[in-house]
Structure 1
Amino acid sequence: MTLFVYGALLKHEVHHDECIGDAKQIAKAAWIKGKLYDTDAGYPACVLMENGTVYGELYEVSSETLNKIDELEEGYEKQEMAVMTDQGKTKALVYTVHKQKAEGLTWIESGNWKEYMLWQRKPESFYYFAYGSCMDDARFKLAKVDHYFQQIIGGGTLDQFTTRFTLTRPDGSRADLVEDGGATEGVLYEVPFDAIRYLYKREGVFEGTYRPSFVDVKIGNEVYQDCVTFLVLQKREEVAPPPHYRSEIEKGADLYLSESFRKKIRSHMDSLIKP
């Protein structure tokens, strides 16, 4: 059975290990139509609605696992519904509540529990995974925010995602991560929480260009959990990036990423049609 989770059952969240355990993850980036609310009890509630989006993860779970989750989700309704992923639409079970039960609760406008909790906690710092132009510091310096990006952990690998160029602009495309079972590389920073406002502005989060996501990045034998990265919301057919944007990617890649990946990303950019 396929299960869509969006709150305390997400990877690295409080009930994941005890309930989901080693269940196979089908998609890290998945979403449904609905609205998310903070129950003020350490977990959210989802109300199915057409005019909203709730982000989560997809897992293949056993009947035994589902029975365990049924006990945890007492008071929620379990139903099958359409779930979107980068690979298209599928069906999965989702635990939801009626709209009446959400009255008086705080609406989580982003539909993203991990992002909401990050803003609630406001940690001193967080990990940020850059895979496009932010691998280079030129625009950090122009914006006079380069002091936020001094703590470079190094070049890291992200499994299950591939760097693609799906955000189209008149002069060419911008980079994106597409969950297709591949792997990509990027630069991992540790940045102060104050850097998040610059990153949201640069990535057009409030305009609906990119959305924050949380991924695990490997550097050597170490895994950095729930690193913030940004995914394109409206993915289009790939076209070539403009020369200035490509240059920023190549500069960062040459400093921090593996030779094999540098060859791979250059070859891919060369293969794309210019707008």
Structure 2
Amino acid sequence: MKKLLVFVYGTLRKGGSNDHYLNEAVCVEQKCFTEGQLYDTGCGYPALIVEKGKWVTGELYEVTPDELNRLDGLEDYEENGSNNLYDRIIAKIRTLNGEVEALLYIMKKKEMHFLPISENDWLKYLNT
């Protein structure tokens, strides 16, 4: 069965409110980074907007196509869907062993009420 890499940065991280979605997945990197800026949406989850020169902290998981479908459901993502809240892209992820490419859910557009998360780490932000 084909395995896919997914970078998670918010509620799907270990200790996050949706981490149970990845119970069966293999965590390949507990701390890695992708370019972007995290925002607090005010709805209990963050939004990632791709932005050069800033680095978001997250985790890297190896998932099956079925697990990816469950993540798509959580994120209300449909391939080529016009009403998606998120886009799913392939992004470069920095790990301790170099760069890899992984799937990443990014917010389609930043809303005015979003608050930037200065440290770009959702779990750290929740614990401050």
The aligned counterpart of 2:125 is 116
In structure 2, give the amino acid aligned to 1:46: L
1:135-165 superposed Cα distances (whole Å, 9 cap, x missing partner):
xxxxxxxxxxxxxxxxxxxxxxxxxxxxxxx
Question: Using the alignment, how far apart are the partners of 2:111 and 2:50 within structure 1?
Answer: 11
In structure 1, give the amino acid aligned to 2:95: T
Equivalent position SS for 1:11: coil
Shift of 1:12: 1.8
Equivalent position SS for 2:123: helix
Shift of 1:112: 0.3
Do structure 1's residue 78 and structure 2's residue 92 form an aligned pair?
Answer: no
Greater RCO (Cα-Cα under 8 Å, separation 6 or more): 2
Shift of 1:101: 2.6
The aligned counterpart of 1:69 is 71
The aligned counterpart of 1:47 is 49
Shift of 1:107: 0.2
- Which runs of 5 or more structure 2 residues have no equivalent in the other structure? 77-84
Shift of 1:51: 2.7
* Higher relative helix content: 1
Of 7, 12, 30, the match for 1:9: 12
Do structure 1's residue 92 and structure 2's residue 102 form an aligned pair?
Answer: yes
Give the TM-score taking structure 2 as reference length.
0.87
In structure 2, give the amino acid aligned to 1:88: G
Question: Using the alignment, how far apart are the partners of 1:57 and 1:93 within structure 2?
Answer: 12
Conservation of the 8 A alpha-carbon contact between 1:32 and 1:54? yes
The aligned counterpart of 2:113 is 104
Deviant stretches of 4+, over 2 Å? 100-104
In structure 1, give the amino acid aligned to 2:120: G
Larger Rg: 1
Aligned identity (percent) is 32
Question: Using the alignment, how far apart are the partners of 1:102 and 1:87 within structure 2?
Answer: 35
Q: What is the alpha-carbon root mean square deviation over aligned residues?
A: 1.0
- Equivalences, count: 117
In structure 2, give the amino acid aligned to 1:7: G
Question: Using the alignment, how far apart are the partners of 2:52 and 2:17 within structure 1?
Answer: 29
